[in-house]
Amino acid sequence: MINLEIPKKANALVNQAYQAASEVFRPISRKYDRAEHSYPKELDTLAALLDGLNSSGEGGAGAAGVRKDGDDKDKGNRNGANLNLVLGTMEMCWGDVAMLLAMPRQGLGNAAIASVANEEQAKRFADVWAAMAITEPSTGSDSANITTTAVADGDDYLLNGEKIFVTAGDRADTVVVWATLDKSLGRAAIKSFVVEKTRPGIKVERLEHKLGIKASDTAVIRLDNCRVPKENLLGSPEIDTKSGFAGVMQTFDNTRPLVAAMAIGVARAALEETAKVLAEAGVTVDYDRPANSQHAAAAAYLQLEADYEAAYLLTLQAAWMADNRKPNSLQASMAKAKAGRSVVDITLRCVELCGTVGYTEESLLEKWSRDSKILDIFEGTQQIQQLIVARRLLGKSSAELK
């Protein structure tokens, strides 16, 4: 049985994350929204604190990835690292999602390493700050169409290609690059490589100016005969056409619930701010009366809260399943799809409900509405998530249902 109550042992971590969000992220949120591409120096001290918590085993509150446990003699249900991670992420993104994405050593590339690295690699890359480079100019939303190549050359691979929309691509010291070993073998030949930024042949071409998450840098990266040791290939170098895309897709099973958690944090922030504005305007949200017998703004607020709650529970389910050694690809995509769509709907509707307060820089509501859109796009767009869910439910392959 799935128990979606927050375990008591997670309270300390959630409180740590909330304190960081309220005391560090919120006060500087508007400052760095206006100063795009400026690194928030205030994050260095917080990052050092989280590193210490992670090293001590107490658990930090950032977005670093978690490993799936191996054989566990305890067969009972449990709440573990995945659930703690999404709970911490929700709290941090209640403060500011761009700040979390700008945190040193808390990148999505770190989640990729934690998901598929072997034990030796996990230790070797434990202290890196890793961005994740998947999207290319010609691939659109289909990661299986990756054209960046990795060609064996002695003890190394030579990587060639271009990656776009790389979150933290400029500031991170390492990039996890998805590339194909053999284009003719399709999805099964796509592998992920840890590429240090100090290696010759990797270059940040430019930084993007964006709608939201301005405190986080988003880069275009080019690889030109970039030489990477073979031991930097994450997971197995073998091309297994039977398992297809399963190896690298395991990364998404971990990172999609994280992005859903980010969306939930932003949505909660918007709902809380809107509740204050409505209360000041004399609008009371009554949970003991039907929505259609209340003020129109109160009825709309209740609908938004329902969407938020559904996304929240789906995300906890995906994390719980990972903690309990259950395949969660379907649930990860459902959580990402629901949370990504809901956060956009919630933040935009909150802007409307709050009138002029929502549209001006008097509050952070307008910022949250801009930040929210990327959470419906990266780590797989809304449409891709729906397609994955349909394939899982209908038992269809990617070739059968496009």
Q: Is residue 105 part of a domain?
A: yes
Q: Is 187 inside any structural domain? A: yes
Task: Give SS3 for 227.
Answer: strand
Residues in the chain with pLDDT values less than 70: 1, 52-77, 241-250
Q: Which whole-number Å values give the CA distances from 264 to 180, 258, 275, in the listed order?
A: 34, 10, 16
**pLDDT of 65:** 47
Residues 347 and 222 in one domain: no
- Which member of 119, 136, 379, 400 is catalytic? 379
Distances 44 to 104, 267, 281 between C-alpha atoms, Å: 7, 26, 40
Q: Is residue 402 part of a domain?
A: no
Q: How many domains does the structure of the chain reveal?
A: 3
Does any domain span residue 96? yes
Residue 352 covered by a domain: yes
pLDDT at 30: 98
Strands 174-180 and 190-196: antiparallel
Give yes or no: residues 305 and 206 share one domain. Answer: no
Same-domain check for residues 18 and 77: yes
Looking at the fold, whether 39 and 147 belong to one and the same domain comes out as no
Beta-bridge partners for 191: 179
The tokens describing 302, both together, are 């209740």
- Under a CB-based contact definition with an 8 Å cutoff, are residues 373 and 259 in contact? no
- Coil/strand/helix, residue 47: helix
What 8-state DSSP symbol labels residue 165?
E
User: Does 176 reside within a domain?
Assistant: yes
Same domain assignment for residues 251 and 388: yes
Residue ending a domain, choose from 65, 94, 124: 124
SS3 content of the chain, % helix, strand, coil (to 5): 50, 15, 35
CATH number where 77 lies: 1.10.540.10
Give residue for tokens 């003020």: 295
Whether 55 and 194 map to the same domain: the answer is no
CATH number at residue 317: 1.20.140.10
Per DSSP, helices labelled H in 170-295 are 246-280
Both 158 and 258 in one domain: the answer is no
What DSSP line would sit under 271-294, residue for residue?
HHHHHHHHHHTT----TTS-GGGS
Report how far residue 228's alpha carbon sits from residue 249's, in angstroms, rounded to the nearest whole number. 22
End-to-end Cα separation, the chain, in angstroms: 34
Expressed as residue numbers, the domain containing 204 is: 130-232
Is the entire prediction scored with pTM above 0.85?
Answer: yes
* 237 is a domain residue: no
Q: Domain boundary residue among 77, 100, 124?
A: 124
User: Is the same domain home to 386 and 260?
Assistant: yes
328 and 217 in a common domain = no
Helix axes 246-280, 81-95, angle to 10 degrees: 40
In a domain, 241, yes or no: no
- The residue among 35, 30, 91 whose CA lies nearest residue 61 is 91
Q: Which two tokens stand for residue 225?
A: 């005969």
DSSP run (H or E) holding 356 = helix 356-359
Residues 295 and 182 occupy one common structural domain: no
Q: Note the pLDDT of residue 170.
A: 97
Predicted pLDDT of residue 242: 63
Residue at a domain's end among 75, 107, 124: 124
**What is the Cα–Cα distance from 132 to 130, expressed in whole angstroms?**
7
Domain of 192, CATH number, reads 2.40.110.10
H or E element in which residue 346 lies: helix 329-353
Residue count (the chain): 402
The helix or strand, by DSSP H or E, that contains position 191, with its residue range, turns out to be strand 190-196
Residues 257 and 307 reside in one and the same domain: yes
| Catalytic (active site) residue 379 | yes
Q: Do 207 and 278 fall into the same domain? A: no
Q: Which residues contact 199 (CB under 8 A, 6 or more apart)?
A: 226, 227, 228
Say how far apart CA 328 and CA 323 lie, in whole Å.
10
